[in-house]
A and B are shown apart, each in its own frame.
Chain A
Amino acid sequence: MDNTEYLRPSNLKELGQIMAGHKNRATVIAGGTNLIPQMRNGGKSPELIVDIGDIQDFSFIMEDDGFISIGAATTIAEIASSDIVSTFSPILASSARELGNPLIRNRATIGGNLANASPCADTALPLLALDAVIRILSPGDKTRNVVLNNFFHGYRFTDLGKGEIITRIIFPKPDDETTGSQIKIGLRNAAAISVASIAVMLTMEGKICRKARIAAGSVAPIPMRVSRVEQLLENQEISATLLEQCKAIMKKEISPISDIRGSAEYRSYVTAVILERNIQRALS
């Protein structure tokens, strides 16, 4: 870590200049809860760290014109205690409350959680289920939007190019017919990385499911939408038989690995269990 340079721009303009000038060597740091451990264990050794912690424009939670926007450097703690988030996307609020521990939540940011692109990133699942879009600032002050579902390309590999920064996360306010549920299985309640987790959003018209969003974590190289299960549910009445089918397809769609937190077998089994549970909870 000795040879790493550190810059902390105080506004967007300074940031833009730094990123344009050093786009090949700059690494963004927000809370540092992923990056610092990665630097310590030798996994990453950035030449230049650009701290976005002072940039006011990256830290907000806003409700506007049918959309919720969250600044990329908003901390998980702020999201967990936000009234807007609790009201319009309780599944994001509850996943934020279950991320890490109080120390981590006070530092960790939502942008860092997504950019780090771990398969177990807790906020990715509700955001996938909420059809979130992320806004990216590219060098030369260009802005582009990417649907979160297209953001994760592979294991810890994202759509972010050199010098690009996530500025905000945007998702539509769910309507009254849409409800969600989210469940994380960890080895304990406190500060546990997920063994398997699922977030679900369902839009109902009477007994018929019009739209389904299912996202699964820790069971594939990326946090993923499970579209085959979504298709199975859409325009159907949700019955016990349908749920059994969903569970079976779910197990086929995911590709969990065995590691210290759980075996592939266990992950596959509980993913199906929490899928069913989530759907039941969303409907109740």
Chain B
Amino acid sequence: MRAAIAIAETNPRLRVAVVSKVYPMRSHTVSAEGGAAGVIAADDSLDEHAYDTISGGDWLCDQDAVDEFVKEAPQELLRLEHWGCPWSRTPEGRIAVRAFGGMQKKRTWFAADKTGFHMLHTLFQTSLKYTSVVRYDEWFVTKLLVDDGRVQGVVAIELMSGKIQPILAKAVILCTGGCGRVFPFTTNASIKTGDGMALAYAAGAPLKDMEFIQYHPTGLPFTGILITEAARAEGGWLLNKDGYRYLQDYNLGTPEPEPVLRSMELGPRDRLSQAFVKEVEKGRAIDGPYGAVVHLDLRHLGRQVIDAKIPFVRELCQKYQNIDPVKELIPVRPVIHYVMGGVHTDIDGATPLAGLYAAGEVACVSINGANRLGSNSLPELLVFGARAGRAAAEYASTQTDPNSSLLAQAEDERRRLERDFLHKTDGAERLATIRTEMQETMEQGAGIYRSGEGLTRAADRLRELQERFRNVAMQDSSRTFNTELTAVLELSFMLDVAESIVHCALRREESRGAHQRTDFTGRDDERFLAHSLNYRNSDGSSRVEYLPVTITRWLPGERVYGR
């Protein structure tokens, strides 16, 4: 949405098509709870935000991109305020900021604990005033059209009618979000299936740093519903079965009654999730019906603080867990949350493929490095959505109309969809079974801790699943809102993305941020202070290359928390 508005403002003569498989206000940004980081406090500085981001990312962030990001984030958040976003306020009516994990200052803007909801609805509603923006609501993109080395549109299914149709364009911006659904237990909505990553990869653009997958330390068991980091920022504690704040044993500082920035419960997510695994190994977690959990304790905050600052947390716990955090402990465990990697772009969202741009979670600019800090993603959508929009508008303004030869390509794609899925009569494999096996494979092989052996096994199993996917059985041959068709296409995207994650993880023989290898336990700057770039070869196999990290001011150092 931010990119669409940027295009409309850069060049009102361009026509913008917003294509989305769900109504735009249902996009997964709607679930984001905690907040969006941008420096505004008098005691804060851009350099501190940059440093927190870079050290949080274990020095895998491109520092020029981070500099731009921290500089533009407050501007973008302010622009959203002018568009009507109901940011929470101080009693004097100014923007209020809260603490967040891995940040040394309070700089996270929030709209109670429905930040993403308010941001998305504000953007969507504001976009309605631009008449050059035309929406294709509930259209599902299946392919990028490339000719002459340029991306010139997409093929999409209009879900309501089942029509398969090309949408030609002088430039395409992917804003398709993450891929949490390749794992079994995730905070991500059902629509987060890595479509954009797979589409770009198939079209020849490389995926970057795909091995870095973030576990959020506090998800509700079974549903995977997120309990926002804001719960810890407001003072929540993590306790093991003895009621002990176990993070003190993992080099994350000493327990204080009040929250301390960059310490204990406000350490970075990778370290907190890893501490959970160790606690389980020591037999100090709690057994629950869905596996081991620890407890998040908010009781000491009292009803007033909980209702004022994190009411949605209380609502979610009461509704889904039948627990009232005012009086009871919340069972939590790490849960797949975010992918740091994505389609390789430069600082303007441009991919190496002409005419193709990407922004948001689907992209890797990269500002998140090996571990994203909480509340950096929402401002990233704004900053790089706007930049990609402006760059794509300028590019499109200089391009000629798309080639008509693309229509033949689109026709081929329509035939493929009909042959392989809609008209398919043979096939013996159940779609849901392949999906479940893929998810289990990923959890076992590419979870919080990984090994060469486990990853190799995962790669083999994914290969097998790709084979079995060809034999998938289709029951629904109708056109009207065929959700079996979308589910099978999403599965094919996810299988490609899963393979990319495993291949990159296997080759990175070191431990950094969210990528922890039991067989290579240290960080290896000599060999791996570099981004993985995963390309698709013309025969369908994949290769991984490395691109040095851009370091401008902060030389790689130790990540210190709680001291």
Are these two chains actual partners, yes or no? no
Chain B positions within 8 Å of A, measured between CB atoms, are none
Chain A positions within 8 Å of B, measured between CB atoms, are none
